[in-house]
Structure 1
């Protein structure tokens, strides 16, 4: 089946008067080769369900549709809806557009089966959405993979190793039962308008969840430990009942600081407290 011949994305943006909104954290990508590379990161998408958040004028959406995905796109910017409607007409039955706030929509209500999340996330809500998809006790999740554009600084925090400056709660949340990697870096000049910082695409797949660990307890321990990052564990964890005894049980020196413990150490503490 031949793919529809679409007008250049810049022409679509100009025709609909779609200037990127700073308030909505929008930065548009027009390079269709780059967008195709992003869409290819999760692997073959033909017939797969894909959730896209903040499609804007539909640059990445085009690449996903051309890859054969069945896309559900959540967009809160009414200005972008006519351009997305044109895409839906060009790819009959492949694109469903939902007007709304993705932070208030449960993806599980949108799909009958598993889905991928692929998105150039709005910078102002990207981390909130990401941590929401990684949280909760139920595991494995219903999503198959996350392929998400972040500021490079955030991407580095997601994949950071212990004892590095970027290591913290986000790294532990991302790594304790999932496998994140930086799939590609994207120069600021690729965006319109160019953001002030570099960006990167992070790809995350679910891994095995350690047994006997409460996700909420892990979140509580890491929140306390990194909430007072420069303090020793004996100080930062003293407000978590049983935490200091858990350190002793596990042979972890309470004079250490949070960033010196690796993900497995925090999992062990949470398991002891669970």
Structure 2
């Protein structure tokens, strides 16, 4: 195992600092990073996609775990320390300079499966997450998602029916996948410390319900939660066939969106997908 200098020394040597514009908050605690890398299980010899590695804190933990890491980073300042990591772990690290929102992630690995692990930049985290969970093709090429989010966002991902946090993000996350909060991370673990607590979310894909269009489910939840304080008869009236679907399924149109279960949303989308 290569003997690497402390991450703080690397950052100081390269004159790096976290920038708010890129949503950066650096983690230096190597034991914490090791715990994060262990969440999806053994990574030895497996493909891993990391988004926003920054100076390479989590990247180190992934490489030490034996993963073959492909990292996407748009901050040119981080290219040099990442290149040094690549030299320390020959053949294990590929760094792509670019915007992760504009790259086809699956194409980076050909036909091979891959896990996704990332301390996601706060300003693009939700967009990347919903992109990985969307689309008609299922199961996805990725085997699991292990991602850092603000705690509030993490709670929205795992929220249950009849809670204030339950919404479109919960339905998208739960209808054909299983999310859980793997650990909470105190704000003091970061440099600079963010204003809020964070959490590691771990998501594994499950079977996709039959007869349901992912796009239709998105349309249903978009309409229902777009006016979440209104009854379904109001929020869904603009979606053709939705009110008839409620009647067919025996769902009271006087209910509000947050009272429906994920299974009920799937049932509505199934009727409308037919």
| Shorter-chain TM-score range | over 0.9
State yes or no: 1:38 paired with 2:31.
Answer: no
Residue-by-residue CA offset, 1:105-153 (whole Å, 9 max, x unaligned): 0111100201000000000000000000000001000000000000000
Alignment gaps of 5+ in structure 1? none
State yes or no: 1:243 paired with 2:271.
Answer: no
The aligned runs of 1:46-125 (5 Å cut-off) are 46-112=44-110, 113-125=112-124
1:261 aligned partner: 260
Distance 1:200 1:154 in 2: 9
Distance 1:17 1:72 in 2: 24
Distance 1:15 1:22 in 2: 21
Residue-by-residue CA offset, 1:20-52 (whole Å, 9 max, x unaligned): 010000000000000000000000000000000
Q: 3-state DSSP class of the match of 1:79?
A: helix
1:14 aligned partner: 12
State the TM-score, normalized to the length of structure 1.
Answer: 0.99
Residue-by-residue CA offset, 1:224-255 (whole Å, 9 max, x unaligned): 00000100000000000000000000000000
The aligned runs of 1:54-203 (5 Å cut-off) are 54-112=52-110, 113-203=112-202
Q: 3-state DSSP class of the match of 1:23?
A: helix
Residue-by-residue CA offset, 1:182-205 (whole Å, 9 max, x unaligned): 000000000000000000000000
Distance 2:158 2:16 in 1: 34
Q: 3-state DSSP class of the match of 1:86?
A: helix
Distance 1:178 1:119 in 2: 18
Distance 1:22 1:206 in 2: 32
Q: 3-state DSSP class of the match of 1:73?
A: strand
Distance 1:198 1:250 in 2: 40
What is the total number of aligned residue pairs between the two structures?
272
State the TM-score, normalized to the length of structure 2.
Answer: 0.99
Q: 3-state DSSP class of the match of 1:205?
A: strand
Q: 3-state DSSP class of the match of 1:110?
A: helix
Distance 2:121 2:35 in 1: 19
Distance 1:78 1:93 in 2: 21
Distance 1:93 1:6 in 2: 17
After superposition, the CA RMSD in angstroms is 0.3
